[in-house]
């Protein structure tokens, strides 16, 4: 069986911009963001790439034409050979009846309700109905896909299936929580004996979405919603202690029995920032919203709210399941600070968060769902390295195209790794480009920027001179899986290969890893094994042997507001446009020609 999973709508951004004023800072608050595609063959994920890596439009919501074409070509599959095209949104008649009922029964005048109904009608008929999705698929691929081959998968189910597949399958409880799905923002339940059970009493409607509340705080603080929430998470660490009574938990969020909760204002689609006045009042704003102390305090309240609410959900989930393993998926699962606390403070012995936990993963989840229904179980080791690879020939051609600006030498792998380790003894920044493109929002060692974390100011050097972004932003320590427990307090976790958890650094290693450790003494680590990634494992081994430093600083190979690089041309453009010192491009070691 061959299945294609994909996410993205033609014209989603334009339609939301016109109907719901989603432009500029709000441009990512649309359906279909993080568009991508994947291919499964007999239950095995063989190819996946996000559209942004190929189109170079960050977090695009457009139909993934390039991604889909590449996946089919890489898997050597013709479009007509596909058994199912699976799409991670299902605005069924039942869902639409619920949305229509919410509008009719909700607050507002008759004119307001008719206006909301008109907007919803256009959204449905032109974008999310089965007919519209099928027409989009046919128009953008040029393939007359039979209607029966299109499978619409509920959004939260797609999130769940992504986590289920990438964790190797098996029984597990689950918490899926994000900004919004078709009608809900969070669900809990179990996957047991090949069956999915949703605990309906704990489902949270969109109007009470925790993810959208965090998104509102993100926008209120001057950042881009549905994009910069990790900045708020990072800022929260600068408040060393809870900043008094949390006004969000006091005035906005109400915890209810059964793991449920409610918000005091609705998360409506037509959002005109009317909540700013509410936030000004409850946060007791006296000066500008971009005041550092104010931002740090509000960020801490927002972070504490996420932790309190999800802990409340888990407390109820623990009463409903006897399973020891938990899957956490959805956009809120990118809050790696929260993930660690959820595991350590619960009775679950394992907690898995996939590299596709946010919306890039719903293409994978949708693609696997037909396999799950057919009784197939995950095959092969789950790897994030699923995208295009370019090889030495393409790398050399790209180098020759900019030959007057760089010098390069081709080296055997052993020499390349040894030379790179030697370079990293100094205060330098090295671009690392090898193999297939990673899937998901994290750079996991194939499109990374590496540095020696023992230099305390290396963080500022990279943030200012290379990444061109805020100086408070932390980086990730990359560490051998066998070394990680010696350096970090990992609690119940044995590995963390996808940067989805944070751990305190042990005191004796704080100085050696200072450039990759956040202000609160924690690191969002990536563990590396020789089986998973032999070249990086060897680099880390030699680097520690020569320096005594047990980890490397790892951050994504891009600059602010651009997607992670994909091709050799992307890598060279970024390398030459920033203050990076060296570049490993496949098996070439590259440096700039000083002018």
* Residues 530-585: tens digit of each pLDDT: 999 999 999 999 999 999 999 999 999 999 889 999 999 999 999 999 999 999 99
Mean pLDDT of 104-118: 90
**What is d(CA 336, CA 477) in angstroms, rounded to the nearest whole number?**
14
* Beta strand spans in 322-386 (E): 325-329, 350-352
Q: What is the largest CA-CA distance in the chain?
A: 73
Q: What is the pLDDT of residue 268?
A: 58
CA-nearest of 278, 261, 248 to 208 is: 261
Instruction: Tally Cβ neighbours within 10 Å of residue 320.
Output: 17
Q: What is the pLDDT of residue 243?
A: 62
Query: pLDDT confidence of 216, banded at 50, 70, 90?
Result: very high
Q: 10: which residues sit within 8 A by CB, 6+ positions away?
A: 62, 63, 136, 139, 140
pLDDT in tens, 83-108: 999 999 999 999 999 999 989 988 88
pLDDT surpasses 80 at 42? yes
Q: Which residue has the tokens 């399958």?
A: 169
Domains and CATH numbers, the chain: 2-167+359-373 (3.30.420.40), 202-350 (3.30.420.40), 391-592 (3.90.870.20)
pLDDT surpasses 90 at 45? yes
Mean pLDDT of 188-199: 97
CA-nearest of 384, 522, 441 to 228 is: 441
**What is d(CA 271, CA 19) in angstroms, rounded to the nearest whole number?**
11
Query: pLDDT confidence of 244, banded at 50, 70, 90?
Result: confident
CA-nearest of 118, 162, 133 to 331 is: 162
**What is d(CA 489, CA 580) in angstroms, rounded to the nearest whole number?**
32
- pTM of structure: 0.96
Q: What is the pLDDT of residue 471?
A: 86
Look at the alpha carbons of 85, 86, 89, 90 in this order and tell me if their dihedral is positive or negative: positive
Query: pLDDT confidence of 22, banded at 50, 70, 90?
Result: confident
Query: pLDDT confidence of 267, banded at 50, 70, 90?
Result: low
Q: Are 588 and 395 in contact (CB under 8 A)?
A: yes
């Amino acid at each position: 069986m061959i299945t294609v999973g994909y996410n993205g709508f033609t014209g989603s951004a334009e339609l939301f911009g016109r109907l719901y004023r989603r432009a500029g800072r709000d441009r990512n608050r649309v359906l279909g963001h993080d568009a991508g595609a994947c291919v499964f063959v007999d239950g095995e994920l063989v190819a996946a790439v996000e559209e942004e890596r190929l189109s170079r439009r960050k977090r695009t919501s457009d139909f993934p034409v390039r991604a889909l074409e590449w996946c089919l070509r890489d898997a050597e599959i013709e479009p007509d050979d596909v058994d199912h095209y699976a799409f991670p949104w299902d605005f069924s008649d039942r869902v639409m009846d619920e949305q229509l009922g919410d509008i009719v029964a909700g607050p507002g005048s008759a004119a307001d309700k008719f206006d909301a109904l008109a907007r919803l009608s256009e959204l449905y008929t032109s974008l999310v109905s089965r007919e519209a999705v099928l027409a989009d698929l046919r128009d953008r691929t040029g393939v007359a896909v039979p209607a029966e081959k299109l499978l619409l998968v509920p959004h939260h189910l797609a999130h769940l299936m992504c986590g289920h597949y990438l964790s190797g399958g098996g029984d597990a409880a689950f918490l899926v929580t994000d900004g919004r799905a078709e009608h809900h923002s969070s669900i809990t339940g179990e996957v047991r004996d090949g069956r999915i059970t949703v605990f309906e009493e704990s489902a949270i409607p969109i109007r009470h979405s925790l993810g959208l509340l965090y998104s509102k705080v993100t926008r209120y603080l001057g950042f881009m919603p549905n994009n910069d929430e990790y900045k708020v998470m990072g800022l929260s660490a600068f408040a060393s202690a809870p900043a008094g009574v949390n006004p969000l938990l006091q005035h906005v969020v109400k915890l209810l029995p059964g793991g449920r909760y409610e918000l005091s204002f609705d998360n409506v689609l037509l959002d005109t920032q009317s909540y700013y006045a509410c936030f000004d009042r409850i946060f007791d704003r006296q000066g500008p919203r971009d005041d550092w102390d104010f931002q740090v305090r509000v960020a801490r309240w927002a972070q504490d709210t996420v932790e309190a609410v999800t802990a409340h959900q888990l407390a109820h989930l623990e009463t409903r399941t006897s399973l020891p393993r938990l899957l956490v998926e959805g956009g809120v699962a990118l809050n790696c600070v929260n993930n660690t606390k959820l595991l350590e403070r619960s009775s679950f012995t394992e907690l898995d968060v996939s590299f596709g936990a946010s919306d890039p993963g719903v293409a994978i989840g949708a693609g696997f769902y037909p396999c799950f229904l057919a009784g197939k179980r995950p095959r092969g080791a789950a790897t994030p390295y699923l995208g295009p690879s370019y090889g030495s020939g393409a790398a050399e051609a790209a180098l020759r195209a900019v030959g007057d600006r760089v010098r390069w030498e081709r080296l055997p792998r052993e020499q390349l790794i040894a030379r790179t380790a030697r370079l990293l003894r100094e205060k330098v920044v090295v671009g690392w480009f090898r193999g297939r493109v990673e899937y998901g929002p994290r750079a996991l060692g194939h499109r990374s920027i590496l540095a020696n974390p023992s230099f305390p100011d290396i963080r500022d050097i990279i943030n200012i001179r290379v990444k061109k972004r805020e100086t408070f932003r932390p980086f990730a320590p990359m560490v051998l899986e066998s070394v990680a427990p010696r350096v970090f307090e990992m609690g119940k976790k044995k590995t963390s290969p996808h940067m989805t958890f944070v751990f305190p650094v042990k005191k004796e290693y704080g100085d050696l890893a200072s450039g990759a450790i956040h202000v609160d003494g924690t690191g969002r680590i990536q563990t590396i094994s020789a089986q998973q990634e032999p070249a990086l494992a060897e680099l880390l081994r030699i680097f520690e042997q020569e320096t005594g430093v047990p980890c490397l600083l790892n951050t994504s190979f891009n600059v602010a507001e651009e997607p992670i690089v994909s091709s050799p041309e992307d890598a060279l453009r970024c390398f030459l446009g920033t203050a990076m010192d060296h570049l490993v491009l496949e098996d070439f070691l590259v440096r700039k020609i000083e002018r």
